[in-house]
Amino acid sequence: MTLPTEPAVIAEEIRQRFLKLYTGAIADMLDKSGYRRQVLPHYVTPHTSVNRVAGPAFTGQGYACASTKNDDTQTRLDMLDGITAGTVSVWACGGSMECAHWGEIMSTAARERGCTGAVIDGGVRDLDFIDEMQYPVFARFKCSASSVGRWDIKEYQVTVKIGETVIHPGDFVFGDIDGVVIVPKDITLDILAAAENVFEREGAMRADLRRGVSVKEAYAKYGSL
């Protein structure tokens, strides 16, 4: 088998491999490697019918604004034009709880630039429209209020923090129905390989248990997962 050599092809192959797994296996491998703060807070969950997302982080940071006259349009447009294909848009919202920080227009614009989904430590709206797009958005809450005059985008492609997890541009983001886990970019392939191994062993162990093999026998055969 000839392995792909083009960076974009390799990146998409890695993304597809992650999508076959689940966050629990990845989180367990991060724990075993000493990275114990890589799972985002429990309240960041899928709010769309498509509930799996994977890709390198394209990060952003915003904060509540002091004036209703604030306008972050130019920063927003620059950010959208800067999105790298294959990434996941990850936003730290500075504790803002009064508005939606992501919606259908942002989803449309990001998707057209190759962004594969969004993870927002804040609000989302327009979910019927986003569901029609089959676009995955993970968020903290739903809210119909616009961010205009309530919250401003300040920076993008910077290091951000959501809960206890520090996220650098390029760290790998994987989310499913159980939540979101962040894999530091320098160990992405190591964690992926380890999680794939666990996934395969768990599948075999599950099959043995369903055939009536005792739990003790199964653990003796497959070891601790």
Q: In what order do the strands lie in the sheet with 123-124?
A: 100-102, 123-124, 141-142
Structural contact between residues 116 and 55, judged by C-beta atoms closer than 8 angstroms: yes
The SS3 call for residue 15 is helix
- Please tell me the pTM assigned to this model: 0.91
In the prediction, which pLDDT does 216 show? Answer: 79
Which H or E element spans position 172? strand 172-176
Give dist(CA 77, CA 173) in Å, integer.
23
Helices H, strands E: what count in the chain?
7, 13
The SS3 call for residue 165 is strand
Give dist(CA 57, CA 185) in Å, integer.
9
36-185 architecture in CATH? 3-Layer(bba) Sandwich (3.50)
Pairing state between β 118-121 and 53-64: unpaired
Pairing state between β 160-162 and 165-167: antiparallel
From first to last of its 225 residues, the chain has per-residue pLDDT tens of 444 445 677 789 999 999 999 999 999 999 999 999 999 999 999 999 999 999 999 999 999 998 999 989 999 999 999 999 999 999 999 999 999 999 999 999 999 999 999 999 999 999 999 999 999 999 999 999 999 999 999 999 999 999 999 999 999 999 999 999 999 999 999 999 999 998 887 766 667 678 777 777 756 766 665
Give dist(CA 45, CA 38) in Å, integer.
15
Give dist(CA 181, CA 45) in Å, integer.
11
Domain boundaries, the chain: 36-185
Give dist(CA 103, CA 107) in Å, integer.
6
In the prediction, which pLDDT does 180 show? Answer: 98
